[in-house]
Chain A
């Protein structure tokens, strides 16, 4: 016990370097996002009116405070483009997460029922594609889905369609891309809870006469809810802010918020509006983020 406490002191010192790093490069930058979201757009480099200049003294600071404006936020709620983008981001994220759950659950369930020796192999097989680059995996699907790509060739050869189907630049292509990229994030937490489950519980239910679907709905699924929660959050939060997949695979008529932020920043060079969009996105995601933090903390620290 005392050894544990003596060990703790230098361990706490180990926090200093990462602490400073994260405050400097994670926390402080949000301050800048907030600051610039409240400043005026300017045609300059960098393209915003400076808000604070600490060297300029009190008077200037007061003037700067007076000049703070919420115009950018007012723009975000009044302009339909942004409102639509937020609504679309949430719709896409909900739909994609539901699809991921529907597709990921049977796979995770199958993994958990493999003989123990094979479970480790299956886990490696699920993780390996996640190691190969994300952009490459999207590109692989663009190859398959393009006008004269493999999918259309197969469909034509089987006479399922009479002419090539347009896949790219549609929402279906985007959903395929999202499901493909995020599937390991859904499968792994599901598998972790399903593998820990006592098989005796399911056996007891079926011994007592419950048909299979009832065993699943009344026993297996409720017990796997922690894994469902982790998988859903792990997919939902980043999908809301996703940029690359909708940009490369969906049509350009309806944008997600990650895309409008990117557009404002890189194309329109409107940094204040992009910053305001980021703040709104952060606020939208605050509750799921906090839920995720609690889950992660409990999971990593339950051994203590």
Chain B
């Protein structure tokens, strides 16, 4: 019998091409952000000129600051509420309105953003809420808590429930059992959920455009209006900074989750 190696040449080629397709454009963007030339496509040597330009662009800095504040606050609220939702769905057994609940949580994952953005704006207008930081934060929380809920719920689903039951047999009340046993075990998923919420918020253009007010543009809104006018080297620099920020967040979070998961493993046999 012919024993084929599991990985055929076709597999290797498609993997290599796929990864190149995913990474080359980003790499090119980063390299060109250090280009000294004003023409985006002509290489004029290495330079930090466009970063300098960005740090002197007050409107851009303000938009970046607004985006960061929105991302941190909405990711934090979304992580709290989203984790509660995941606990209710995976540990609450049956309860009234469960189908509606899970329906409302899963729909925003794929719902076109124009619909979510428009509907939230109409709500804010009806409530006569002043649009700005808080309306964008609420809108982003609504979107991102669904992602947090799914990430945490899949982790809860794969947990061995006998651990919680053992804690309760040993005299813990449910809340104590959750805090002492379940919470440390799902901590990596909660961290991952926060990260996902943070980057989704930092990234969002459509929902923010609908729900923000005059004078409080987020970074993607600023970038979008610049990109519409054409490619500018300064935008390359901003994009590179955002990529660097997200990379740092990913590294910190994966270190944190590695730390907590190894703790969780060492705690489990005890």
Interface residues, chain A, CB within 8 Å of chain B? 3-15, 17-19, 21-23, 25-30, 32-33, 36, 46, 103, 106-107, 109-111, 113-114, 122, 125-126, 128-129, 131-144, 146, 148-150, 153, 180, 183-184, 187, 199, 206-207, 233-234, 237-238, 240-244, 248, 258, 261-262, 265-266, 271, 274-275, 278, 281-282, 285, 289, 292-293, 296-297, 300-304
Q: Which residues of A contact B23 (CB under 8 A)?
A: 129
- For this complex, 18 residue pairs linking A to B, each with C-beta atoms less than 8 Å apart, are A3-B169, A6-B174, A11-B92, A15-B89, A22-B104, A30-B119, A32-B126, A33-B119, A36-B122, A106-B11, A106-B14, A139-B223, A139-B235, A244-B224, A248-B227, A281-B115, A285-B112, A301-B90
Task: State whether B81 touches A140 (Cβ < 8 A).
Answer: no
Q: Does B255 contact A (CB under 8 A)?
A: no
Assembly CA distance A12 to B14 (angstroms): 46
Interface of A is mostly: helix
Q: Please name all residues of chain B whose beta carbon is closer than 8 Å to the beta carbon of A26 when the two chains form the complex.
A: 104, 107-108, 116, 142
Contact: B203 with A135, CB < 8 Å?
A: yes
**CB pair A135 B220 closer than 8 Å:** yes
Interface with A: B49-57, B150-158, B261-269, which one? B150-158
Complex CA–CA separation, A33 to B112 (angstroms)? 14
Does B185 have its Cβ within 8 Å of any Cβ on chain A? no
Q: Is the CB of B10 within 8 A of A106?
A: yes
Q: Report the nearest A residue to B220, measured CB to CB.
A: A135
Chain A, residue nearest B235 (CB): A139
A274-B122 Cα distance, complex, nearest whole Å: 11
Task: Report chain B residues within 8 Å CB of A46.
Answer: 125
Our pick among B7, B90, B138, B154 for the contact of A110 (Cβ within 8 Å) is: B7
Residue of B nearest to A29 (CB): B119
Known contacts A11-B174, A14-B92, A187-B18; 19 further A-B pairs (Cβ under 8 A): A6-B168, A7-B168, A10-B175, A11-B91, A18-B81, A22-B101, A106-B11, A106-B18, A126-B18, A133-B243, A133-B246, A136-B239, A139-B235, A148-B41, A150-B41, A258-B114, A281-B112, A300-B150, A301-B90
Q: What distance in Å separates the Cβ of B44 from its nearest Cβ neighbour in chain A?
A: 14
Q: Which 10 A-B pairs have the closest CB atoms?
A: A241-B112, A15-B88, A29-B119, A106-B14, A18-B85, A11-B91, A107-B18, A110-B15, A110-B11, A303-B157
Count of residues in B whose CB is under 8 Å from the partner chain? 101
Looking at chain B's contact residues, is the secondary structure mostly helix, strand, loop, or mixed? helix
Which residues of A lie under 8 Å from residue B157 when comparing CB positions?
300-304
* Cβ-defined contact, B85 with A142, below 8 A: no
In the bound assembly, the distance between CA atoms of A289 and B195 in angstroms comes to 26
A138 proximity list for chain B (CB < 8 A): 227
On whether the beta carbons of B29 and A140 are closer than 8 Å, the reply is yes
Q: Let me know if B190 is at the binding interface, CB within 8 A.
A: no
Query: How would residues 1 to 42 of chain B score, 1 for a CB under 8 Å from any chain A CB and 0 otherwise?
Result: 110101110111011001101110110110010000001110
